[in-house]
Structures are given as C-alpha cells and as structure tokens.
Amino acid sequence: MPNVIRVTQSSIPNLEEYVDEIKSIFGSKWLTNMGEKHQELEKQLMKYLGINYVSLVVNGHMALELSLQAFDFPEGGEVITTPFTFISTTHAVVRNNLTPVFCDIDPDTYCIDANKIEKLVTDKTVAIMPVHVYGNICDVEKIAEIAKKYNLKVIYDAAHAFGEKIKLGDGKERGVATFGDVSCFSFHATKVFNTIEGGAVCSNDETIYKKLYNLKNFGIRDAEYIEAVGANAKMNEFSAAMGLVNLRHLPDEIAKRKNVHERYLKKLSNIDGLKLNYIGSGLTSNYGYFPVLFDEEKLGLNRDEIDGTLQEHDIYARKYFYPLTNDAQVYKGRFSSVSTPIAVKISGQVLALPIYADLALDDVDRICDVILSEINRKGKK
Ligand SMILES: *Cc1c(COP(=O)(O)O)cnc(C)c1O
C-alpha cells in the first residue's frame, strides 16, 4: 500500500532537543507575557532577518491585523491589495474597518502587479498590502516608489517568504523583512519556519514596535494606563521555545526542500501545458511551495481532474489559492473578481503540489508519475 502524501508536513525538532529547551520554563514558571524565550527568539530573529525590530505575535493573521491597527488609519480608508492570497490578508483589512481594493496580479510571479497599482489610488487610499506569493518577491522597488509618491504605508504579507533574500537592481542583497513599513510573517505549523502557531511583525521603526507591544497585550502600557483598544496576541513561551529549536535546523530543512523542488523540476520541466513554480533571478528561495499551473487547452484536462486523480492515489495537493478572496462566499455582493482577470485565470489552473523537508524523492517521483501518466492517458496529444 503506498503511503498517504499530504500537501505539507510540519517540521518538527528532535524531542530531546525541545525538552531541553523548555526545561528552564519549568524552573521559572513563566509561561507567557514576553518571557525569556520570547525575548530570546525576538533577538535571534532580528539577527537572522537583518532587521532592527521583531515583534512576536500569536499568529500571522494577528501580525497583519495589528499592523494595520498600529497605523491608525481613518475608518473607511482604502487598502490596495491582492485577491490571490490566503483569506487572512483580506480579512485583516476588513476587520480593521478598512476597504480592500483589489489589484490584479503578475502572470509570472503571481504577486500584485505593481504596474496596475497606481491607477487604483484615490484620495481615500491609505496603504498597499502586497503578498510575496509562494515566496516570490513583489516588485518592491516600484511599490516603494508609488508609496512615496502618494504618501502610503506599505504592509507586506510575507507569510510565504520567511528568511529569503533578494538581490535588487543595485546588486545588493537584502532580506525580505526589510521591505515596506512592516513585513508580517506567519510561523504556523505548515510554514517553512514554525512556532506551532505564531507570527511576527518586522520593521526598522521603534515606534511601531512599541505600539505593537501594547496592542498585542490589550493596549496596556502599564497596569493603570490603558492606551489602546488592544487584543491579546502574545506568543507563549512554549511556542517561542519551539521557534528557537526550529531556527537552528532551518538551513537543513530548506536544503531538503530544495532537493524536492529540483526533483519536481527534473521530472516535470518542458511539458507543454504545465507551468512550474517561478523563482525570480537574484532570489534565495525558501522552497516553501511548489505550485503548478495546468493549462486545460493544451493538456485536454483540467486542474480539478488532475487533483482528483492524485487523490485516488492518496496524494493530497491543494488548490492554493482558490477561490480568490474577492470571490469568497462571505464577500459575495461586496467584492468581485471581475477586475482581476489574471488572478481568476491562475486561480483556476493552480495546484500546489506536496513539498516539505521530509518528503522522500521516491514519493516526488510517484506524484510526478501519476500526473504524467494521466496527461498521457487523457490528454489531447
Ligand atoms: C499562513 C498565511 C497567513 C496567516 O497566518 P497564520 O499564522 O495562519 O495566522 C496570512 N497570509 C498568508 C499569505 C499566509 O500564507
């Protein structure tokens, strides 16, 4: 019986190493509220990401939501964003009483099309919230230019891009956390780097760091002075400890993901009708995802059929991202995907194939063989 293959599997450390890391928590009995592990992880992440301030939070969603809140935008302000993302990005805007304005995406990187942002700017626009989709980096230079011209904040949803670096036009390499006013990460169990649940807001601005410190703790400045309508979004010590241990092994995990990525390329390249994961030049990828577009016109069969066949073989890929967030049930009648046709097309073709550090290369072969034989069996050619 072949084993079940899921789209992802969490990176998990050696048990003894984790137990060792949490021993001091049992001594201190300090379980949450910015304890020793929390402080240590923030410090290590600042170094790893090359950024002055890292504010740990309970998950990536709250990183987005509290970042938006931290800027005190006027109610009803417009945020230019992408529909080709996890629903969290759009919810974060709406839950802040702001209005998402959907911009179409680039057909290669699947990130927001920076050339289409400017015509969406109105006098109500307050921010741009782009997403580094599948770890592809947005056109950060163009976005910075637009933001400067119209005095907008840029809040990156960098949930897919942890630890990546990119060489820009000037040839200098920069960490992904350094773009925009803030960059938000998710450390959810399914991400390249995890703290079980968790996230962080990165910036070079101490004011933002201090605001977030309060916002994630009920807006409490000190016991008798509550300065904001805060939430409870603190990362606990056991999660921070998980992060400290996982961070040590991250380079190995990424190297193993890279092997999986390369195996897919070897097996699936040069097939008319398949478009494989794009990695832009100058990018040091974290190999978080392996999305493939299936072109029905060329293949004679569509993404859903491939997905169904994989499932018959106990292989669970994911239609990621489908539906678009502007087509989500909850937003029917409120938003629409009419103005984002490229996102509609890609969302209808994309299937994220399984990728994780411990995915055996034999299993990658098995996945590819199922896809290839289905194309040969049913396809037109
Ligand atoms: C995972 C993810 C989030 C949400 O992060 P959580 O830690 O699950 O709350 C937001 N945006 C994108 C693009 C994500 O992939």
What is the per-residue pLDDT across 291-309, written as a single tens digit (0 to 9) for each?
999 999 999 999 999 999 9
Binning pLDDT at 50, 70 and 90, where does residue 169 land? confident
The band of 223, judged by pLDDT with boundaries at 50, 70 and 90, is confident
Q: How far is CA 336 from the centre of its chain?
A: 23
The pLDDT of residue 2 is 66
Q: Which of 83-92, 103-112, 124-133, 274-283 is predicted with the least confidence, judged by mean pLDDT?
A: 274-283
* Beta pairing, strands 78-81 & 99-102: parallel
Residues in contact with 222: Cβ distance below 8 Å, sequence separation at least 6, in sequence order: none
pLDDT of residue 299: 95
User: What is the 191 CA–ligand 1 centroid distance (Å)?
Assistant: 9
CA of 223 to the centre of ligand 1 (A): 32
* 1 has pLDDT over 80: no
Q: How far, in Å, from the CA of 380 to the mean position of ligand 1?
A: 38
With a cut of 70, say whether residue 43 has pLDDT above it. Answer: yes
DSSP label at residue 52: S
Do residues 108 and 84 touch, judged by C-beta distance below 8 A? no
| Residue 379 predicted with pLDDT over 90 | no
Neighbours of 196 (CB within 10 A): 19
Q: Evaluate: CB of 89 within 6 angstroms of ligand 1.
A: yes
Average pLDDT of span 1-12 = 89
Selection from 97, 82, 28 nearest residue 237 by Cα: 28
Provide the pLDDT for residue 380. Answer: 56
| pLDDT for the residue numbered 247 | 98
65 lines ligand 1 (CB under 6 A): no
DSSP annotation of 4 reads P
H or E element that contains 274? strand 274-275
What would the two tokens of residue 65 be?
Answer: 């939501």
The predicted pLDDT at position 108 comes to 96
Q: Which of these, 137, 176, 130, 174, lies nearest to 153 by C-alpha position?
A: 130
Q: pTM score > 0.75 for this model?
A: yes
Centre of ligand 1 to C-alpha 374, Å, is 32
Closest of 190, 213, 193 to residue 201, by C-alpha: 213
Tokens of 371: 């896809």
pLDDT at 248 over 60: yes
What pLDDT is recorded for position 367? 98
pLDDT higher than threshold 90 for residue 228: yes
Q: Which of 8, 86, 134 to mutate to test the pocket of ligand 1 (most atoms within 8 A of CB)?
A: 86
The pLDDT assigned to 55 comes to: 98
Specify the pLDDT at position 278: 87
In angstroms, the CA 332 to CA 27 distance is 52
The DSSP symbol for 178 reads G
Report DSSP state, residue 133.
G
- Position 296 scores a pLDDT of 96
Distance of alpha carbon 129 from alpha carbon 64, whole angstroms: 9
Distances (CA, A) of 300 to 295, 296, 366, 380: 8, 5, 22, 5
Residue 337 CB less than 6 A away from ligand 1: no
Segment 35-59 shows an average pLDDT of 98
* Separation of CA 381 and ligand 1 centre (Å): 39
Q: Are 110 and 131 in contact (CB under 8 A)?
A: no
Provide mean pLDDT across the span 36-62.
Answer: 98
pLDDT for residue 132 is more than 90? yes
Ligand 1 site, residue 85, Cβ cutoff 6 A: yes
Query: Would you say the C-alpha torsion 307, 312, 318, 324 has a positive or negative sign?
Result: positive
